[in-house]
């Protein structure tokens, strides 16, 4: 583009503020009187808030937006929407309504904005939801996302911190999309690997959640800005430990090469600073450590499933075409909060 539009400056979930900084601020906010209808609030650092409105219905609310991580506006719209919708699925909910959130430079070609919104609205429709409005701001860089409302039966909420010792951990998408987008920014990523990353990021977690609904899931979260280890640590909630077998973790292969070339994000390093102290790496190559800390945009679900049902759930997810894998298990609290081993 001759007119110097830099659409992608390194966005997606890599643009998130660090978890360390955030928890300091959030812990100091004044708290109003407790509302018994609030089933999941930000105290639990879960994926979305859940508020019960009747005996059999709770609403799930979430909001997610970020700067572009790919050059194509339509693709960006799809990814941003898939990422925002994912939080509803991570809570076990169904998508009902969505509102657009847009920041866009006034002087830019409005067709770009049209492409972003088209990508986003297609994903809302695929999710079975309705786009009901939005809000836009003139800003000096592009940002897009959705505020989404869904519903869930109060007995069917999937929180991120009710895993039990022995549960098997299943990840439903490959890791490495943050590193690949970063490599792509400096012209190092191959077209094939980028296509694989984009296909992964535009895939709704609706399908994985739909399959998982038939199994006994004790905890669920989606893997986004804090990387696999950061989100896993939230799942452990200071009460459990986990062991991860890194050779079982699904990864977009090319990410290993880029990690070894140090095409790393600031957010990945922030994730390492935040969660690194609680992780024991045993015979894990440097590149894999980086991939485990890599911020994921529109990443997969991380499920803690009843142990005897793990293999069947893995098989069902795989037969639907998802690159899901059992990557480890939850344990009673041991010395290392998270152990990563071969």
Partner 1 sequence: MKKTVNAMGDSCPIPVVKTKEAIRELSGQAGTVETLVDNEIAVQNLTKMAVQKGYGVTSEKLGENQFRVTMTIAGSETGSGDTQKPEGAGAETLPEEPACIPDARRKHTVVAISSSAMGSGSDELGTALMKAFLYALAQQDTLPSTILFYNGGARLTCEGASTLEDLKALEAQGVEIMTCGTCLNFYGLTEKLQVGTVTNMYAIAEKLTQADLVIRP
From 276, 316, 318, 341, residue interacting with partner 1 (rule: CB under 8 A): 276
From 287, 296, 297, 298, residue interacting with partner 1 (rule: CB under 8 A): 287
* The residue to which tokens 């293999």 are assigned: 311
Catalytic residue from among 8, 13, 181, 220:
13
The region of 127-135, 139-147, 271-279, 311-319 touching partner 1 under the rule CB under 8 A is 271-279
With respect to partner 1, which residue has the nearer C-beta, 24 or 239? 24
Strand partners, 101: 135, 145
SS3 sequence of 17-84: CCHHHHHHHHCCCCCCCCCCCEEECHHHCCCCEEEEEECCEEEEEEEEEECCCCCCHHHHHHHHHHHH
Q: Please, is 204 exposed, middle or buried when counting C-beta atoms within 10 Å of its C-beta (0-12, 13-18, 19+)? A: buried
Task: Looking at residues 303 to 322 of the shown chain, list those that interact with partner 1 (rule: CB under 8 A).
Answer: none
* The residue to which tokens 């894990």 are assigned: 284
Backbone dihedral region for residue 95 (phi beyond 0: left; psi -120 to 50: alpha; all else: beta): beta
220 in catalytic set: no
186 sits near partner 1 (criterion: CB under 8 A): yes
With respect to partner 1, which residue has the nearer C-beta, 104 or 256? 256
Length of the chain: 342
What is the DSSP secondary structure assignment for residue 128, as one 8-state letter? Answer: T
From 273, 311, 320, 333, residue interacting with partner 1 (rule: CB under 8 A): 273
From 154, 166, 285, 307, residue interacting with partner 1 (rule: CB under 8 A): 285
241 sits near partner 1 (criterion: CB under 8 A): no
CB of 182 to partner 1, least distance (A): 6
From 289, 294, 296, 317, residue interacting with partner 1 (rule: CB under 8 A): 289
CB of 142 to partner 1, least distance (A): 16
What is the DSSP secondary structure assignment for residue 251, as one 8-state letter? Answer: B
17 sits near partner 1 (criterion: CB under 8 A): no
With respect to partner 1, which residue has the nearer C-beta, 123 or 272? 272
| Measured CA distances, 56 to 36, 156, 220 (Å) | 15, 10, 21
| Measured CA distances, 8 to 73, 76, 204 (Å) | 9, 9, 22
From 62, 83, 100, 182, residue interacting with partner 1 (rule: CB under 8 A): 182
Closest by CA to 230, choosing from 278, 182, 265, is 278
Cβ-Cβ contacts under 8 Å for 93 (sequence gap 6 or more) = 48, 50, 60, 150, 151, 152, 157
**Binding residues for partner 1, total number by CB under 8 A:** 26
With respect to partner 1, which residue has the nearer C-beta, 20 or 128? 20
Site string for partner 1, 145-174 (x = CB under 8 A): ------------------------------
With respect to partner 1, which residue has the nearer C-beta, 131 or 179? 179
Task: Looking at residues 247 to 266 of the shown chain, list those that interact with partner 1 (rule: CB under 8 A).
Answer: 257, 260-266
With respect to partner 1, which residue has the nearer C-beta, 98 or 179? 179
Question: CA 219 to CA 306: how far, in whole Å?
Answer: 10
Q: How many CA atoms lie within 13 A of 116 on its CB side?
A: 28
CB of 62 to partner 1, least distance (A): 27
Question: CA 247 to CA 334: how far, in whole Å?
Answer: 22
With respect to partner 1, which residue has the nearer C-beta, 43 or 261? 261
* Binding region for partner 1 (CB under 8 A): 9-10, 182, 186, 257, 260-266, 269-270, 273, 276-278, 280, 284-287, 289, 335-336
Residue positions annotated with a catalytic role: 13
């Amino acid at each position: 583009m001759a007119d110097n539009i830099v659409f992608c400056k390194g966005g997606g979930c890599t643009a998130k503020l660090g978890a360390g900084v955030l928890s300091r601020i959030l812990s100091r906010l004044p708290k109003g009187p407790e509302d018994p209808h609030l089933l999941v609030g930000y105290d639990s650092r879960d994926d979305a808030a859940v508020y019960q409105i009747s005996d059999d219905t709770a609403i799930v609310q979430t909001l997610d937006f970020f700067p572009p991580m790919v050059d194509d506006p339509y693709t960006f719209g799809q990814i941003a929407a898939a990422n925002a919708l994912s939080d509803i699925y991570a809570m076990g909910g169904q998508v009902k309504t969505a509102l657009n959130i847009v920041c866009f430079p006034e002087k830019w070609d409005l067709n770009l904005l049209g492409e972003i919104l088209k990508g986003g609205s297609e994903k809302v429709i695929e999710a079975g939801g309705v786009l009901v409005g939005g809000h836009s701001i003139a800003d000096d860089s592009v940002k897009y996302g959705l505020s989404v409302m869904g519903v869930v039966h109060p007995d069917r909420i999937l929180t991120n911190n009710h895993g039990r010792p022995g549960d098997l951990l299943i990840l439903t998408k490959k890791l490495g999309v943050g590193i690949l987008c970063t490599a792509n920014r400096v012209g190092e990523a191959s077209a094939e690997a980028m296509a694989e990353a984009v296909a992964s990021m535009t895939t709704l977690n609706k399908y994985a959640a739909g399959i998982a609904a038939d199994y006994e899931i004790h905890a669920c979260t989606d893997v986004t800005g804090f990387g696999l280890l950061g989100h896993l640590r939230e799942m452990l909630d200071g009460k459990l430990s986990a062991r991860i077998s890194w050779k079982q973790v699904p990864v977009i292969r090319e990410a290993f090469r880029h990690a070894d070339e140090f095409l790393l994000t600031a957010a990945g390093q922030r994730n390492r600073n935040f969660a690194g102290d609680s992780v024991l790496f045993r015979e894990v190559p440097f590149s894999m450590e980086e991939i485990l800390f890599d911020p994921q945009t529109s990443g997969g679900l991380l499920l803690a499933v009843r142990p005897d049902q793990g293999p069947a759930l893995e098989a069902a997810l795989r037969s639907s075409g998802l690159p899901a894998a059992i990557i480890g298990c939850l344990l009673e609290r041991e010395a290392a909060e998270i152990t990563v081993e071969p």
